[in-house]
Structure 1
Amino acid sequence: MEKAKISASQLFILMVLFELGTSLLLPIAMDTKQDAWLAILLGMVFSFVLFLIYHKLYSYYPDLLPTEYMQKILGKAMGTVLAFLYILYFIYDVARVLRDIGEMLLTFAYPDTPLFIASALLILVTIYMVRKGIEVIARSGEILFVFMYILAFTGFILIVCSGLIDFTNLQPVLEEGILPILKVIFSQILYFPFGEAIVFTMILPYLNNPKKAKVTMLCATGLSGINLVITMLINISVLGVDLTARSQFPLLSTVQSIQVADFLERLDVFFMLALVIGGFCKISILFYAAVIGTANLFKIKSPSRLSYPLGLIILFMSMTISSNFQEHLHEGIGIEMFALHIPLLAIIPPLLLLIAFLKNRKKQRE
């Protein structure tokens, strides 16, 4: 492990930025139509159970990375294989987020720029951040957090002043009952964006006060969940259900609608900065987890050496992951959700916790 420590407030900020990340960008939970905000809210509540499981595992092994305690729980061979699977998952997830941000930049700001160039520039900055370590990532997050919330608050005021909000777009509530909402929660929202924060199990051992880990994780998830609920309420109120569902990036479409006093308009580039900040922080944290996990698993003494080769792998994976953005979204909602998110985020951690609990109880008896 890197010899570094971060505070509970820094962990809180990183988790909020991570969970907002690309979830602000994409039309999540739109299968529930105007009840998407309710699906996000309930998904946040259910995600608390996952975070309590992740925290309990951490409490059994507070000084070990998951790549280490998986080997203690399952044995050397099975633990190594499972740890390697999680590292591959982090790498794949970084590639997906990088593709999301690259596509957004090309769609709204740089239509004539090759996707490779936009993604390469972003991954180069991320490599520099990861080489500097978790303390630099955390301090950068503190600065970007303030900047992002200034932009968000300004955007909210401008949307309200524009008179764009129409709350009738949110009616009727629960038109098709609670079952469609529960289906979306347990097939999508529980894992993206909330369950993805399993990556912070790789960062919890760096916390300088382990007793604050549980409260920090739950509070960060609560704040990011409320922010996502407000964002979805605004998107549907301004754009309507159909346009929000059809739009590749609903929040930017909403911001494009802002027009105050016939002169303050076309602010999408200004608020695109907030989305880039969230995506950049998410990429940095996932990338750091992949680097530190690989170094730990394969006993590499200098983790920073891995940043360049892993960065190249992530860059080319993001380019080849799908042929177009629609195929990319389809893979994320369908294939990735059931093949990766559900087993790695919701099935394996409770099983690990059960085995760790039984082993710990056996030690206490002895």
Structure 2
Amino acid sequence: MLIYIISHLGIIFFLYPGNIIASTNQGHWAPILIGIVFHFVLILIYMKGLSFFPNKDVISIYSGIGKITTFLFLTPTLIYFIMVIIIAVRAYAEIINIVFLSHTPIWAIMILLLSTITYMAAKGIEVIFRTGLLLAFLFLPIILFILILSFQNVDWRYAIPIDSDFRFITKPVFFQSFSAFAGGFLFLGFVQPYFSYEKKGVLLAAGILIPCFILSVYIPILTFGQSTASPLFLPFVVVLDSTKITWLMFERVTMFFLLSLITFVIVYTSLTTWKTIRIINHYIPSIKPVFLLVSFSGLVFFTGLLIPDWKDVEKLLWWNTFFRFYSYIAIPLSLCFFGLRLVRKGKNETI
């Protein structure tokens, strides 16, 4: 449950608010609600599909069905994971550069991030989970505390009007907002041989995230208004910068909030890197996973250097939309389909 929560939090408070605020001028609850409902439906389908194949991960499930099936579903997912890692390392290196280390070159920050990510991925899924649990216990109380403080300057009149015209469905930024939903739950199909989980626990974790999706968007709107919040870069971070706390010994709560979320992003990216190497190793079993991991990290680093600025990061986010939705939708539906077909074959053989 905690890994599920922290896998989403780092993405929610950074990119998600700007995408939703830019997608519509009023009634922001509508795009948020659509994303949440879509998320819950696909989680249920995904876990239902996995339940047909106990103690098997996604790779072994598809490889057991056939090579064509493996190629059709794992290859687009692999491309999606690779682009997510490149975008995450490059984007969060720039965020760290803007907020914390303004005089440090981005390549140096990328090396620091990639070194940590590569080390955790090399140690395996158990180390990633243990690290995630430790960070969750350390930083989740801080994030909850800062969320409460962020209500300091809200004006509830900015919530009006609440009606929505649903024209946001045609805007690219709305589809980009699904990046906060898409990557987080797919790890359930990769860790199944190593860890067990309960459906109720996963759904509870997804339910805990609902207020985070809502608050990440509405706190900037209630603080600045739609017209002021829409052009802001990282609107929720700007809200925290405007929060004044005289009784706290630290002047900037933004620093603690961002550091907490960046540690969550590192765990999420390490988990995604581990999944990526497992898929690559399935295609190239002759090469040791450690060598694949080091080579892949080098590829991510040099690719990140080729991305000049934030506009190009946003282009990559848009180009990754097809692979994001393909993995987001096709993996759960296909697993459920193959699982139901397996059950029907079993019944026919019994008869």
TM range (shorter): 0.7 to 0.9
The unaligned stretches of length 5 or more in structure 1 are 1-11
Work out the percentage of aligned pairs sharing the same amino acid.
Answer: 21
| 1:169 paired to 2:154 | no
Aligned match of 1:335 in 299, 302, 319?
319
TM-score (normalised: structure 1): 0.85
- Counterpart for residue 298 of structure 1: 284
- Quick one: distance in 2 between partners of 1:183 and 1:201? 31
Given that 1:256 and 1:267 are in contact with CA atoms closer than 8 Å, whether structure 2 keeps it comes out as: yes
- Counterpart for residue 255 of structure 1: 240
1:190-239: per-residue Cα shift (whole Å, max 9, x none)? 832112224314433145435x1x22322222212321212222121113
Q: SS in structure 1 opposite 2:154? A: coil
- Counterpart for residue 267 of structure 1: 253
Given that 2:76 and 2:326 are in contact with CA atoms closer than 8 Å, whether structure 1 keeps it comes out as: no
State the shift of 1:257 in Å.
0.2
Instruction: Rate the CA distance shift 1:352–1:205 in 2: closer, same or farther, 3 A.
Output: closer
- Quick one: distance in 1 between partners of 2:79 and 2:286? 17
State the shift of 1:93 in Å.
0.8
State the shift of 1:324 in Å.
1.4
In the alignment of these two chains, the number of paired residues is 345
Instruction: Rate the CA distance shift 1:278–1:37 in 2: closer, same or farther, 3 A.
Output: farther
Q: SS in structure 1 opposite 2:308? A: coil
- Counterpart for residue 195 of structure 1: 182
| 1:285 paired to 2:268 | no
- Quick one: distance in 2 between partners of 1:50 and 1:207? 22
State the shift of 1:356 in Å.
3.8
Instruction: Rate the CA distance shift 1:272–1:187 in 2: closer, same or farther, 3 A.
Output: closer
- Quick one: distance in 1 between partners of 2:137 and 2:81? 27
| 1:97 paired to 2:88 | yes
- Counterpart for residue 64 of structure 2: 72
Given that 1:19 and 1:197 are in contact with CA atoms closer than 8 Å, whether structure 2 keeps it comes out as: yes
- Quick one: distance in 1 between partners of 2:172 and 2:345? 36
**Higher RCO, Cα 8 Å, sep 6+:** 2
State the shift of 1:17 in Å.
0.8
Q: SS in structure 1 opposite 2:233? A: coil
Given that 2:73 and 2:330 are in contact with CA atoms closer than 8 Å, whether structure 1 keeps it comes out as: no
Q: SS in structure 2 opposite 1:247? A: coil
State the shift of 1:104 in Å.
0.4
Given that 1:87 and 1:293 are in contact with CA atoms closer than 8 Å, whether structure 2 keeps it comes out as: yes
Amino acid at match of 1:357: L
- Quick one: distance in 1 between partners of 2:87 and 2:135? 22
| 1:39 paired to 2:35 | no
- Quick one: distance in 2 between partners of 1:316 and 1:182? 35
- Quick one: distance in 2 between partners of 1:269 and 1:159? 14
The unaligned stretches of length 5 or more in structure 2 are none
Amino acid at match of 1:137: I
State the shift of 1:123 in Å.
0.7
Using the TM superposition, name which of 103-112 and 231-240 deviates more: 231-240
Q: SS in structure 2 opposite 1:28? A: helix
TM-score (normalised: structure 2): 0.88
- Counterpart for residue 313 of structure 1: 299
Q: SS in structure 2 opposite 1:33? A: coil
- Counterpart for residue 18 of structure 1: 7
1:296-319: per-residue Cα shift (whole Å, max 9, x none)? 343358534432111112222233
After TM superposition, the structure 1 = structure 2 runs for residues 38-57 of structure 1, keeping only pairs within 5 Å, are 38-57=30-49
| 1:223 paired to 2:212 | no
Given that 1:137 and 1:284 are in contact with CA atoms closer than 8 Å, whether structure 2 keeps it comes out as: yes
State the shift of 1:352 in Å.
4.6
1:240-295: per-residue Cα shift (whole Å, max 9, x none)? 22333212211211111011349864332232212212221221111111122222
